[in-house]
């Protein structure tokens, strides 16, 4: 991103960049409140309503506040921008980018007639919107904080997002989690009504080679974590068969494993005073320490 006029300085910078940084050095340089936000002006007229809606809802401001307690070694930028027709979201080079095209897709799913009666349009919209930011934030945290990832990074980022929705949006957790689960169903091409039919249409073989788990796997993993978080509040997932009973039996353990990993790997990077102020002293993410 930055160009250096002197070759010697550039070479020295490359050596320093390649050298390992000790955890102590990272901790010394890190500081909270290092997330900057950008709402890019849309180039497409169709994106203008999305731009106005997310600004009115202060989506990036809420994300910025949620991320503020993390002590980061450098600035992280979160932005909403046009992506030349690509329905996508990404983390790269210190920036989380969520495309207007992706948010347009989320809005389309939220307005679907297949949306179950208990799930509001707002929940179907806000759940996936927050989910995609926290998922990409997971990738950023793994890089910024040099967090080891055992397993696939996309699955680990899904866990970060699920814990964020459950812990930070506790009052609205059912709607937020439900909104994300409904989006995964749409991606899989099924509805809550057809989910448990004896046969489901198989996806293209290439889908199983993707770095992400399949949409239905992601849905089951998300609901299992939610059920493990609070079996009473998410009992309907099992009662309706959306989460199989056989999987539900181990969900409390899966949630505790995820919380333990957060406690050991991510919680040490939180500014505790700011975390208590932001999340509340009784929040599982704070109490874990």
Residue 4 has pLDDT above 50, yes or no: no
Report yes or no: 134 and 160 within 8 Å, Cβ to Cβ. yes
Q: Establish if 284 belongs to a structural domain.
A: no
For residue 73, being part of any structural domain is answered with yes
Average pLDDT of the segment spanning 168-191 = 91
DSSP 169-203: SGGGHHHHHHHHHHHHHHHHT--TTTTTSS--PPP
Average pLDDT, the chain: 87
Q: What is the pLDDT of residues 90-116, one digit of tens each?
A: 999 999 999 999 999 999 999 999 999
List Cβ neighbours of 115 (8 Å cut-off, separation of 6 or more): 109, 121, 124, 182
Residue 118 has which token pair? 């208990």
Q: pTM of the full predicted structure?
A: 0.85
Residue 35, in any domain of the structure:
yes
Rounded to whole angstroms, the Cα distance separating 253 from 49 reads 43
pLDDT at 11 over 50: no
Give the residue carrying structure tokens 């009992």.
Answer: 235
What residues are paired with 72 via a beta bridge?
Answer: 31
Which tokens sit at 169?
Answer: 């949006």
Least confident of 36-45, 184-193, 268-277: 184-193
Categorize the per-residue pLDDT at 209 as very low, low, confident or very high, splitting at 50, 70 and 90: low
C-alpha pair distances (Å), 251 with each of 207, 218, 231, 248, 255: 26, 14, 9, 5, 6
Enter the tokens of residue 49. Answer: 């309503």
In a domain, 85, yes or no: yes
Q: What is the C-alpha separation between 276 and 280, in angstroms, rounded? A: 5
Bridge partner list, 38 = 79
- Total domains present in the chain: 1
DSSP codes of every residue in 153-165: HHHHHHHHHHHHH
Specify the higher pLDDT residue, 197 or 115. 115
Which whole number is the average pLDDT over 237-247?
A: 95
In a domain, 200, yes or no: no
271, 153 Cβ separation under 8 angstroms: no
In a domain, 68, yes or no: yes
What is the domain extent for residue 139?
27-191+213-279
């Amino acid at each position: 991103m930055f160009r250096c006029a002197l070759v010697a300085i550039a070479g020295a910078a490359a050596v320093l960049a390649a050298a390992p940084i000790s955890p102590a050095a990272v901790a010394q340089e890190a500081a909270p409140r290092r997330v900057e936000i950008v709402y890019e002006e849309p180039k497409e007229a169709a994106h203008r309503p999305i731009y106005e809606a997310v600004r009115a809802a202060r989506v990036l401001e809420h994300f910025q506040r949620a991320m503020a307690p993390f002590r980061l070694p450098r600035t992280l930028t979160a932005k909403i921008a046009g992506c030349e027709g690509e329905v996508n979201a990404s983390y790269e080079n210190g920036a989380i980018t969520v495309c207007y095209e992706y948010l347009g897709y989320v809005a389309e799913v939220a307005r679907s007639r297949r949306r179950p009666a208990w799930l509001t349009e707002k929940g179907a919209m806000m759940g996936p919107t927050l989910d995609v930011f926290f998922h990409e934030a997971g990738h950023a945290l793994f890089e910024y904080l040099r967090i080891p990832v055992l397993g696939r990074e996309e699955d680990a980022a899904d866990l970060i997002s699920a814990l964020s929705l459950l812990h930070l949006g506790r009052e609205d957790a059912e709607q937020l989690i439900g909104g994300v689960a409904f989006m995964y169903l749409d991606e899989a091409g099924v509805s809550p009504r057809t989910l448990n039919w004896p046969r489901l249409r198989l996806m293209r073989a290439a889908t199983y080679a993707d770095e992400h788990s399949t949409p239905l796997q992601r849905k089951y993993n998300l609901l299992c974590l939610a059920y493990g978080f609070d079996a009473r509040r998410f009992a309907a997932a099992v009662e309706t068969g959306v989460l199989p009973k056989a999987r539900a039996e181990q969900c409390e353990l899966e949630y505790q494993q995820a919380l333990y990993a957060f406690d050991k790997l991510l919680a040490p990077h939180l500014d505790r005073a700011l975390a208590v102020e932001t999340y509340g002293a009784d929040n599982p993410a704070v109490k874990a320490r």
